[in-house]
Amino acid sequence: KAGVTQTPRYLIKTRGQQVTLSCSPISGHRSVSWYQQTPGQGLQFLFEYFSETQRNKGNFPGRFSGRQFSNSRSEMNVSTLELGDSALYLCASSPRLAGIDEQFFGPGTRLTVL
Amino acid sequence: DAKTTQPNSMESNEEEPVHLPCNHSTISGTDYIHWYRQLPSQGPEYVIHGLTSNVNNRMASLAIAEDRKSSTLILHRATLRDAAVYYCILRDTSGTYKYIFGTGTRLKVLA
């Protein structure tokens, strides 16, 4: 079974631009969560989608948004990029809402904002 | 949100057992305790999780204190491939379902 895939793997943007990251969960998984990882703040939860609905949201500004499609694939969008948005963005999937179930993480997308 | 506290780093000799502690004094009754690890340049990888009872799987064992305010991840025989950052996480299953990652413990395994 294929693992969680994320595209692109690396991305360079400039301040003020917007970016869209994509995540394909493991086949059959209905929950997709997004995380931001930086050296200073560590791993921080962004949001979780289940059956095309956002179920949980972390403490991030409204510039961070996401969506999930009927095939469970998910995208996250960051608008008006700031230097501090440079980070590794990780996507994780699980069969059900990621509470009791383990999450399977993708390799991440490394975003650099110049 | 419940928080976890872990030592920043630990060292272990290869082939010896490793006990990685985690304090979670504000844990609630519906919080599951999860452990993940992150190898260099990779996404986190699930290790083990439990609620109240001790748990074993092929990777590790999880020992949970009776009052659930602390837990210990046990790697029975550390190998060089176990060198990673280990995260202890509480997962609320009563409604928010959020994962709150702490700063983790960087485990160094010495040959």
Q: Which amino acid is at B87?
A: Y
| Alpha-carbon gap, residue A75 to A89, rounded angstroms | 11
pLDDT of amino acid B90: 86
Task: Check if B46 contacts A (Cβ < 8 Å).
Answer: yes
pLDDT tens digits, B48-107: 999 999 999 988 999 999 999 999 999 999 999 999 999 998 887 666 666 777 789 999
Which among A73, A91, A89 is positioned nearest to A81, based on CA atoms? Answer: A89
List all residues of chain B from 69 to 108 with a beta carbon under 8 Å from chain A: 87, 91-93, 96-104
pLDDT of amino acid B74: 97
Q: Name the residue among A92, A98, A102 with its Cβ closest to that of B97.
A: A98
Task: Check if B49 contacts A (Cβ < 8 Å).
Answer: yes
Name the percent of chain B in helix, strand, coil, to the closest 5: 5, 50, 45
Which residues in chain A show pLDDT less than 70?
1, 97-100
| Alpha-carbon gap, residue B102 to A106, rounded angstroms | 19
Q: What's chain B's length in residues?
A: 111
Q: In the predicted model, is pLDDT for residue B30 greater than 90?
A: no
